[in-house]
Amino acid sequence: MQDQEPYVPPPSLLLALTEAHRAALEVVSLGVTRHALKKMAPLGDGHPVMVLPGFLGGDGYNSALRRFLSGLNYSVHGWGMGRNLGPREGVLEGLEQRIEDLVERYEGPISLVGHSLGGIFAREIARAFPDKIRQVISLGSPFGEGRMTASIPARLFAALNPPQDLPIDEDLLALAPPVPTTAIYSKGDGIVNWQTTFQHEGHEQTQNIEVRGSHCGMTLNPSIWLLIAECLAIAPGQWQAFERGNWSTLVYPAVD
């Protein structure tokens, strides 16, 4: 008999009620720091990057992040599957085909950056096709045990995607895919309990990086933009964990 998942509570009411306000502050901080970010972020090597949206989101929600990465010399793409309503019929197959086309077009593996549910998709694609994926970066993605009780939109997700119909092995979600994998999380997440967005057991090329901010603002958080740029700039076969400088402990409270 399969063991029952541990109960993980959703975020506190205070975090949930202030989520939108804190996300708005991240948008403001991005506007103030955008030009400085372009100077601070390392340039890329031109390899393809796909940004996957969170639950109920679409490519429009990630457009600013994609433009930023394009300006760093990456070949950046949205997921091209419309609004993310979950792994419904044909979604994962369509995503796999899109990635296959990009890998063939650029003659090399692609990096995946996924916000929330998009990060879970990215991890599962990397698990199934590790030779096609250069690395995975998840932003507040609830892949850990207890995720269905730890997320505020979990009931809506379950209604749209009945557990018995999911084309994903849920027992494997908490395991890191066999590629360089970075989990970015925030203890201020007002949508998902951060404990389910943290890689508890991984391999030598996994890392967790804590940031300050909301859940909904993760794709508009300047400290996250800089982190993504740092991770993407690492050459294949030369992976190394992100290390904080003296100043960066203010925006990156913990690195595991």
The pTM score is: 0.93
For the cut 50, the answer to whether the pLDDT of residue 248 exceeds it is yes
**Quick one: pLDDT band at residue 87, thresholds 50, 70, 90?**
confident
Give the C-alpha separation, 143 to 173, whole Å: 5
Nearest to 228 by CA among 15, 51, 13: 51
Taking each helix axis as running N to C, give the angle between helix 91-106 and helix 117-128, from 0 to 180 degrees, rounded to the nearest 10.
60
Q: Which two tokens stand for residue 118?
A: 């998009």
At 19, list the tokens. Answer: 């989520």
Nearest 10 degrees: Cα torsion 210, 215, 217, 222: 10
Write down the pLDDT at residue 1: 37
Where helices occur in 107-209 by DSSP H, the ranges are 117-128, 147-150, 154-160
75, pLDDT greater than 80 = yes
pLDDT number for residue 244 = 79
